[in-house]
Amino acid sequence: MRGFTTISVLFTAALSVFTNATPVEVAKRQTPASVASILTDLTNTVTPLANQLLYATPDNATSDVLTPIIGSISSSVTDAVSSLNLLVGQPTSVIMASVDGTTTLDTTDISDLLSSVVNLILTAANSVLSVVDSTITSIITSLVSELGTLVFSLLGTVLSLVTGLLAPLLTLLAPILSIVSSLGLTSLLGDLLGGLLGGL
């Protein structure tokens, strides 16, 4: 409960902070996919997988069934982070481009996309832990913990790319704060927020 309270305080503090850093622009190389494109692809990929976790039952929530599903979600998140890292140093017009490349999105649009996929993944992970048999709880918990680490890597990467994203994102993530706590991810969230606030 102490960890939950600490993260709640960090949430409150973080929501009052505004960032004004300007993304670094360098000579244009081969144009990578935008944040919106990467997050949209990630959402499309993990949604059917997450749904399998959300609707798992004690009868089908076995290690043989769940391990490849969670592994596939983790791989998809890892791939997304790798793609996002290609955007470092790109101009805002590239980073914030819409999926079809015709417009430039704002932070609210990116916040919606990011919070949606993060909420989906963490909610699904939390849901499946409630139905697994005690004999495999430790195995699945370990997989979920690894997935949680990757999700926070995703959050940190997008936050480093998109100026002014922190406040609107935290507002949208607030409803799953209890899930973050129940998954044992409060320290990761604390590290993320502490690093961002400390860099301002």
**Cα→Cα distances 75→13, 18, 68, 126, Å:** 33, 32, 10, 18
pLDDT for the residue 58: 94
pLDDT for the residue 33: 97
pLDDT for the residue 20: 45
Domain count, the chain: 1
Distance, C-alpha 40 to centroid of its chain: 13
Give which of 127, 150, 145, 136 is closest to 52, Cα–Cα. Answer: 127
State which residues form the domain around 79. 2-198
DSSP string of the chain, one letter each residue: -HHHHHHHHHHHHHHT----PPPP-----SPPPPHHHHHHHHHHHHHHHHHHHHT--TTT--HHHHHHHHHHHHHHHHHHHHHHHTTTT--HHHHTB-TTSSSB--HHHHHHHHHHHHHHHHHHHHHHHTTS-TTTHHHHHHHHHHHHHHHHHHHHHHHHHSTT-HHHHHHHHGGGHHHHHHTT-HHHHHHHHHHHHHT-
Residue in the block written with tokens 């699945």: 140
pLDDT for the residue 28: 43
pLDDT for the residue 175: 86
pTM above 0.95, yes or no: no
pLDDT for the residue 26: 41
Backbone angles phi, psi at 104, to 5 degrees: -105, 125
pLDDT for the residue 44: 98
pLDDT for the residue 9: 56
Digits of tens for pLDDT over the chain (200 positions)? 555 565 665 556 555 554 444 444 444 457 899 999 999 999 999 999 999 999 999 999 999 999 999 999 999 999 999 999 999 999 999 999 999 999 999 999 999 999 999 999 999 999 999 999 999 999 999 999 999 999 999 999 999 999 999 888 888 888 888 999 999 988 888 887 776 655 55
